[in-house]
Amino acid sequence: MKVSFLDLKAPYLELKEELDAAYQRVMESGWYILGQEVEAFEQEFAVYCETKYCIGVGNGLESLHLILRAMKIGAGDEVIVPANTYIATWLAVSYAGAIPVPVEPDRNTYNIDPNKIEAAITSKTKAIIAVHLYGQPADMDFINEIASRHNIKVIEDAAQAHGALYKGRRVGGLADVAGFSFYPGKNLGAFGDGGAVTTNNRQLADKIRLLHNYGSRSKYYNEVKGFNSRLDELQAAFLRVKLNKLDEWNERRKQIAKYYLKELQEYTDLKLPYVAEFSESVWHLFVISSPQRDKLKRYLDTVEVSTLIHYPIPPHLSDAYAENLGTNWQINSYPITQMISSQILSLPISPHLNKTEIQIVVEILLEVFKHDII
Ligand X SMILES: *Cc1c(COP(=O)(O)O)cnc(C)c1O
The residue among 160 and 235 lying less far from ligand X, judged by its C-beta, is 160
- Beta bridge partners, 177, equal 155, 199
Q: What secondary structure, in 3-state letters, does 243-264 show?
A: HCCHHHHHHHHHHHHHHHHHHH
Smallest separation (angstroms) from ligand X to the CB of 244: 21
The residue among 194 and 351 lying less far from ligand X, judged by its C-beta, is 194
Q: What secondary structure, in 3-state letters, does 286-320 show?
A: EEEECCCHHHHHHHHHHCCECCECCCCCCHHHCHH
Looking at residue 137, what DSSP letter applies?
A: P
What is the number of the residue whose Cβ is closest to ligand X? 60
Contact status, residue 338 vs residue 314, Cβ threshold 8 Å? yes
The residue among 161 and 361 lying less far from ligand X, judged by its C-beta, is 161
Distance CA 159, CA 161 (A): 6
The residue among 42 and 157 lying less far from ligand X, judged by its C-beta, is 157
Smallest separation (angstroms) from ligand X to the CB of 187: 10
Smallest separation (angstroms) from ligand X to the CB of 157: 5
Smallest separation (angstroms) from ligand X to the CB of 14: 22
The residue among 102 and 195 lying less far from ligand X, judged by its C-beta, is 195
Smallest separation (angstroms) from ligand X to the CB of 310: 8
Distance CA 157, CA 88 (A): 10
Smallest separation (angstroms) from ligand X to the CB of 139: 17
What is the contact surface with ligand X in residues (CB under 6 A)?
59-61, 85-86, 88-89, 131, 157, 159-160, 181, 183, 193, 195
Do the bridges between strand 99-103 and strand 78-82 make them parallel or antiparallel, or are there none, so unpaired? parallel
Contact status, residue 97 vs residue 68, Cβ threshold 8 Å? no
Q: Which helix (H) or strand (E) holds 21?
A: helix 16-29
The residue among 157 and 176 lying less far from ligand X, judged by its C-beta, is 157
Smallest separation (angstroms) from ligand X to the CB of 87: 8
Q: Which of 130, 180, 137, 187 is nearest to 153 (CA)?
A: 130
The residue among 196 and 270 lying less far from ligand X, judged by its C-beta, is 196
φ, ψ at 171 (rounded to 5°): -65, 155
Q: Is 156 helix (H, G, I), strand (E, B) or coil?
A: strand
Smallest separation (angstroms) from ligand X to the CB of 64: 7
Contact status, residue 84 vs residue 314, Cβ threshold 8 Å? yes
The residue among 143 and 365 lying less far from ligand X, judged by its C-beta, is 143
